[in-house]
Structure 1
């Protein structure tokens, strides 16, 4: 029994009554919320306040708390009432409104009642610590049938996917030999990728993009069921042209038949998610899990994990504060162009959309928020998340035309870079040109951490970036003659790129990345140069370096990415002020 947590709950409850003089629900429920979250932590669950959920009849209800697991699935629910209420009558009224009875706890600080599978299974006095422990434990130990079905579908997907992948690869190999229409469409898309991403992209890379596109289309449509993304987005449209040359009718039905249940389970789960933030998180979890199954070796090496929303919001709010402090501007002001150079699934841009007032958002969204992504699946998800967030806030859909399918680090020359407009989609080319011609004021994001590796593309391992690496050599590594140093890590490259992108103009860079640069001996020159290049630098060392030991490891503590990565993490802000301009 968690005696300490329950004793702390009783103490907290008494203080609220003593100091506040109130016994109503809004005053007392915070104490029980803390208690439940304490229990949740040991089971890797999380209690989230007042999330909308859709009932079987199509209406929406909002329990006081929803318990989520790591897959963003609803594990259970909690509803708090006043002790002066008739709890039995309140329970009856909630069920009449459509509140779920699959696993829900009702309490009024005196009595707790638990329903599971539609039946009342416990009814206890909350002043009995042992019984209170048992009812909370039972709430958090119950696996709803829907969760069991979802997990079983994922396990079956793991079993079936290797066969499907081999079948698709064999099919594509056959089409490469016998289908001229396929060959032409594939070669056109390959040329696009070599221009936008990496000159070393191969036909095998395009094959894997096609497979990812084929296997995830149903997932996207299930989560964002009104999306026309695969048909309307310029890059997805080009890839779909290749797929349409062979993956139709009987071939499509036969190959995907064994994982149809996986798609149905996702669709059923997604249909009950009303809150658009939860939709985004659910989609990101699906992506992370899909990629671990699709390519576990690359997922382990690359760490397919994205920035926690709390960190993103902190960075956006801090950047807005620094803009005001240094330049008397705000993120929402006209003329403040914002760029996320490695957007992943679009978290920074969606949080920007939430942060910017509705009155200024249409202009910012249309002209002054920019982002890039080099990998096909995150690019897709970022598009979906950004457009869906805008629609939820503004009440109407608008295409987001400022995301580029490109490798940011290949565009070190910015507006001087020349393009073969016949080798890329005209729209993607124009987007890149438009971004490169803009005066960027804020560069914000989470650049890749791993040395000598790009985001998701295995074949980019040990890839060099000629222009950026030369800039690092003449700045961060002044005297070094070594061909390989840690200063060619991806986050060093992105900081070099971002600093050069701002150039001699005003601006702010805000990154979260590996924290090695703070005290590693190999970064001595780096620290000296960066200190010279910026007018002000703010660094928040979040620690979490799991590669340490002993007392140092104890001081480092846990990682903000829930220990999914092993390196320490830091948030840093740098401001460049062009004197005489402000």
Structure 2
């Protein structure tokens, strides 16, 4: 069990009493002021466990307003570990606590506190009622508060510690099995060859066999998580990409290999995920939990893939701001709305679906009856990696179920490389259904493009086997060719390597994709705002768009060593970030 390092003589404890003493001198006794002293103590202690205190933490209730608690301590999987409710000195805690429980407050690890007293409930039982005017009493109750672990969480923490190494072990063993079967299992050899061809036609013509082997491994190791946590038992039979992969897996298991037997060593980890996810009632929090699982999965199993594709998920406040801003600009500049027919919306780098989900909520909030048509005909997204594609498909489909009250497959998602798609004229994708989706997207008049493109120029070292892919064609229509002919050609910089960053390609691609008019909203690396290498890009953007809004969020840790990626960057990364909205109007003909 983890221990909290806290003594009566420690600085956070002294700071707590000093703050209360200062409030007392000023005659300040109301809850809104005095609670800040305890809040700062909780924040300080939480850092030892990498927990974040979220003030005014909301807990949803069916058909009722959410409960707003004074705070909750949340871990980096977005799981609430402890709850806090503050009162002032005049409140009678013995009377207030039953009222709170009757209203639906959690009974598992919650502390009710006023300046002189703290009452702690764990597992539904009163475990401590302490006079906290004395430092030792304060330390005792706070330590009990932080060190408590319910059985499910204890199991979860142990499973997480082991997960990284276990995934590597199983991935390595699966790879050995696949390569063994490639030598002697005719059924698997044929199925794998067909699947490899389909992948090369749809994702990347230069895709290696190793990358496709990795896709199979990803599917095998994670399919149960998606099926059980999302409560979607028919997932592998219904998702058009999963169906094709399952054909190869079935060929792999046609001899002596047993999927369930092979994976039973991971049962405890799968069980811990399922049990932990079951404690989360709010589906948005469950999505975030699974996003974190996904991130950790890639860190433990496929670091190179995570790196080249820039796997970083956009904080919800930024997603909401961008969606709201697009709606505002649509109305002001075009007299349109996200709900209007004809306003096709595309996220070309969908990740796990956050932007499309937020757009759906915005549409439902404006006019719920507009969502079914928009969902079926005018929402589009692409993903090039298998796992986020799975997660996005299920997240989006579940959001539609939540909003519309019925399950309907999302036809707007494609497993395809956005940059490659525009350069390839004939594709035989995984199935006719997927081909139909890609063709439909190609034929759609996209009016809004939004999302979070990957950005990681650091992977361009020629000596690094992990460098980003270049998209060039003989007729010079590849996205790298277009960047060279526009942004690079207009630049006076000597070193133009930075223009190979995927986020630069994304802006160039989107500028062409919206054609005559529309809006692009991307959250990206902010290096293009003022660095010399991007002078030609800035000139071209000025020509291409009528209005450009750039919200520089700073956070370039490499530029300013005094900054911390953890505390000064919205993504917790090293490079600076900006939210950029580009507006293009149709040019009037002479």
What TM-score, normalized by structure 1, do the two folds share?
Answer: 0.86
1:9 and 1:351 mapped to 2: Cα distance? 42
Residue aligning to 2:197: 191
Confirm whether residue 470 of structure 1 aligns to residue 475 of structure 2: no
Residue aligning to 1:558: 568
Contact 1:157–1:262, Cα closer than 8 Å, also in 2 = yes
1:4 and 1:253 mapped to 2: Cα distance? 55
Residue aligning to 2:112: 106
1:293 and 1:360 mapped to 2: Cα distance? 42
Question: What are the equivalent positions in structure 2 for 1:424-463 lying under 5 Å apart?
Answer: 424-451=430-457, 461-463=467-469
1:241 and 1:97 mapped to 2: Cα distance? 51
How far did 1:86 drift?
5.4
Residue aligning to 2:506: 494
Residue aligning to 2:284: 277
Contact 1:534–1:576, Cα closer than 8 Å, also in 2 = yes
Contact 2:496–2:533, Cα closer than 8 Å, also in 1 = no
Picking from 379, 394, 405, the partner of 2:415 is: 405
Confirm whether residue 339 of structure 1 aligns to residue 349 of structure 2: no
For these two proteins, the number of residue pairs brought into alignment is: 559
Question: What are the equivalent positions in structure 2 for 1:275-424 lying under 5 Å apart?
Answer: 275-299=282-306, 303-357=310-364, 358-412=368-422, 417-421=424-428, 424=430
Higher mean C-alpha displacement, 432-441 vs 66-75:
66-75
Unaligned runs of 5+ in 2: 1-10, 473-477
Give the direction of change, closer, same or farther, for the CA distance of 1:85–1:41 in structure 2 (3 Å limit).
closer
Give the direction of change, closer, same or farther, for the CA distance of 1:360–1:47 in structure 2 (3 Å limit).
farther
How far did 1:302 drift?
5.1
Picking from 260, 267, 275, the partner of 1:260 is: 267
How far did 1:494 drift?
0.7
Confirm whether residue 574 of structure 1 aligns to residue 563 of structure 2: no
Higher mean C-alpha displacement, 459-468 vs 389-398:
459-468
1:266-303 Cα distance to aligned partner (Å, 9 max, x none) = 11111111101111001101101111111235445655
Contact 2:557–2:565, Cα closer than 8 Å, also in 1 = no
Unaligned runs of 5+ in 1: 55-59
1:104-158 Cα distance to aligned partner (Å, 9 max, x none) = 1124676420124565443245777885576446423444443232121122233
Picking from 536, 539, 545, the partner of 1:534 is: 545
Residue aligning to 2:3: none
How far did 1:165 drift?
1.9
Residue 519 of structure 2 aligns to a residue whose secondary structure is strand
Give the direction of change, closer, same or farther, for the CA distance of 1:452–1:557 in structure 2 (3 Å limit).
closer
How far did 1:187 drift?
2.0
Residue aligning to 1:251: 258
2:485 and 2:336 mapped to 1: Cα distance? 33
Contact 1:61–1:97, Cα closer than 8 Å, also in 2 = no
Give the direction of change, closer, same or farther, for the CA distance of 1:82–1:61 in structure 2 (3 Å limit).
farther
Give the direction of change, closer, same or farther, for the CA distance of 1:217–1:555 in structure 2 (3 Å limit).
closer
How far did 1:202 drift?
2.3
Give the direction of change, closer, same or farther, for the CA distance of 1:78–1:545 in structure 2 (3 Å limit).
same
Residue 404 of structure 1 aligns to a residue whose secondary structure is strand
Contact 2:203–2:384, Cα closer than 8 Å, also in 1 = yes
Higher mean C-alpha displacement, 439-448 vs 97-106:
97-106
How far did 1:483 drift?
10
In angstroms, what is the RMSD of aligned CA positions? 3.6
How far did 1:548 drift?
2.0
Residue aligning to 2:8: none
How far did 1:463 drift?
2.0
1:210-232 Cα distance to aligned partner (Å, 9 max, x none) = 11000001111232113532220
Give the direction of change, closer, same or farther, for the CA distance of 1:35–1:434 in structure 2 (3 Å limit).
same
1:31-58 Cα distance to aligned partner (Å, 9 max, x none) = 689657744763432345232499xxxx
